[in-house]
Amino acid sequence: MKLKDKVAIIAGGTKGIGLGIALEFVREGARVVVGGTTDKNGEAAIREIEAAGGEGLFVNCDVADLDDLDNIIEKTVDRFGRVDIYVANAGINDADKTHYLDITPEQYDRIMDVNLKGMFFGGQKAAQQMIAQGDGGVIVNMSSVNAYLALDSQFVYTVSKGGIQQLTKVQAVALAPYKIKVNAMAPGPIETDLMRRVGSDKQLMDTILSRTPIGRIGTPQECGRLAVFLASDDSNFIFGQSIYIDGGRGFQAYPTPGY
């Protein structure tokens, strides 16, 4: 088992990609704490984790609230004694399809508070705990193919994801002396609740697939396997990188014929 006896926090871990990561972590021997803002989702996630043979804890956590970030670290240490891995997966896109000229300061602040500020300080607090423990650790940030692609229908979200890639680099430099490894994952289209809603629009789904060379949507489990790699010793010489898991979505210049 690649993560045997490790303790992992997955902020934004109650569904979708985050839950996929939590389930793959427990299959590799980790104990997991999943954070989220909806108790119902959190309780359902713990049932799935336990059904997979794992041990888990749900903590209600809005990453935009710094007190909540302190709380999830404290509850993890209280329950499991330490923090070895912190996955910053929480993110929102409240201004979807709002044109740049119409985005309000309130929309901007809310998205950036969750997607970038929450990741900045969540990683900081996790790193402080890892340093206190004295034997290193791992931080995995969740970026997106939209960190590279200019998607004006998701303007603030796209800006936040670009910021995450630079955050990942400077975190890696700052934390390397403490043996804390920092990398990011950058997913393309993944089978989540949001993507299932997109899938109901055949024209939009065809457009997405026409620009995804592999010709299909990815799965949370595939994201989980990448997260296992980044959290394990297998990736110990990889620092400050954003690893794209997008079926080729980020580099295809023209639509695939047939769509």
Residues carrying an active site annotation: 157
Buried b (16+ CB within 10 A) or exposed e, 20-38: bbbbbbbbbebbbbbbbbe
- For residue 60, report the phi and psi dihedrals to the nearest 5 degrees: -70, 120
Whether 93 contacts 157, CB under 8 Å: yes
Buried b (16+ CB within 10 A) or exposed e, 211-245: bbeeeebbebbbbbbbbbbbbbeebeeebbbbbbb
Burial grade of 98 (CB within 10 A; 0-12, 13-18, 19 or more): middle
**H or E segment and range at residue 243:** strand 242-245
Whether 123 contacts 182, CB under 8 Å: yes
Between strands 7-11 and 31-36, the pairing is parallel
Q: What is the DSSP letter of 115?
A: I
CA 22 from centroid of its chain's CA atoms: 11
Cβ neighbors of 244 (< 8 A, separation 6 or more) are 145, 148, 186, 187, 188, 250
Assign 3-state DSSP to the chain and report helix, strand, coil percentages, each to 5: 50, 15, 35
